[in-house]
Amino acid sequence: MLSEFYEHHPRLRAVIEAVLEGRQGSIRALEDPPRATRLDLGCYAVPGGDPASPSARALLAELAGPLEIVVPDDDRWRLLLAEVLGDRIHDRSMQAYVGDALDPVRLATQSAGLPAAYKLAAVRSQEAAALGGDLSPHGVQVFGGPENFARTGYGVCALHAGSPVCAATTYALTTDKAEVAIATSPEHRGKGLATAVGAAMLAGCLRRGLTPHWNAYNPISQRLARRLGLTPIGVCEILLLDS
């Protein structure tokens, strides 16, 4: 039934479905039976259902930032968000991409382009435990720690002197979709690491029968998405809630 609440969310489907499938995150409801709910996963809060429900306002009012609110494609929710949260929210919409037409040969060529001082590695428990704040966001933050990520998530990283300095990880994972997060440590940017690591990650998703999804806010990330062969599918409307 709750899946019907999220029919007005055409974007960020991997995040939404990961929660609805019970794999990650949580569902917040204040009525029984619920008329409105909120999905929470990592940095995302996703309201859905009937915005005229008495609980809809309360579900928004209890939010605390910093947080990214995924806006339903419904003007009534937009009005309620503005009314309840006011000047605490600001537009942070992202370009959504999907990997439904990726070229495995191209990805193999790109992943082989890692500079000589770096080594590709799977993100297992040891690598997952070494992912720090300079590689945020990453899947370890939402999979319940390094061991659980190594057991249930998936990722690829570039190692330099034995430590991960670029990582592509599953931020959300469903039966057939993966929301991908890619980040590079500031001192190692500009060397093509994100392209090589991202290509290896996307190729791994395809081998696992997963369609990669990615949402990019800044122009650099958007260029990376196009370089990897991801297809733009529209804008994911996001409101950033201040702390």
Mean of pLDDT values over 63-92 = 97
Decide whether 2-94 matches 96-235 in CATH topology.
Answer: yes
Whole-number Å distance between alpha carbons of 53 and 112: 53
Least Cα distance to 230 among 112, 95, 139 occurs for 95
State mean pLDDT over 122-149: 95
pTM: 0.95
CATH superfamily of 96-235: Gcn5-related N-acetyltransferase (GNAT) (3.40.630.30)
C-alpha–C-alpha distance, residues 44 and 239, integer Å: 10
Query: According to the model, what pLDDT value does residue 212 have?
Result: 98
How many residues belong to the chain?
243
Confidence check: pLDDT of 185 > 80: yes
pLDDT band at 1 (very low <50, low <70, confident <90, very high): confident
CATH of 2-94, one of 3.40.50.360, 2.60.40.10, 3.40.630.110, 3.30.70.980: 3.40.630.110
182: left (phi over 0), alpha (psi -120 to 50) or beta: beta
> Cα separation of 131 and 140, whole Å?
8
Pairwise CA distance, residues 114 & 82, whole Å: 46
Task: Quote the percentage of the chain above a pLDDT of 90.
Answer: 97
Give yes or no for a cis peptide into 33 (omega within 30° of 0).
yes
How far lies 50's CA from each of 17, 38, 114, in Å?
Answer: 19, 11, 49
Q: How buried is residue 43: exposed, middle or buried, by Cβ count under 10 Å (0-12/13-18/19+)?
A: middle
Whole-Å CA distances, 225 to 38, 128, 196: 29, 23, 12
31: closest CA among 55, 11, 47, 3? 55
Q: What ranges do the domains of the chain cover?
A: 2-94, 96-235
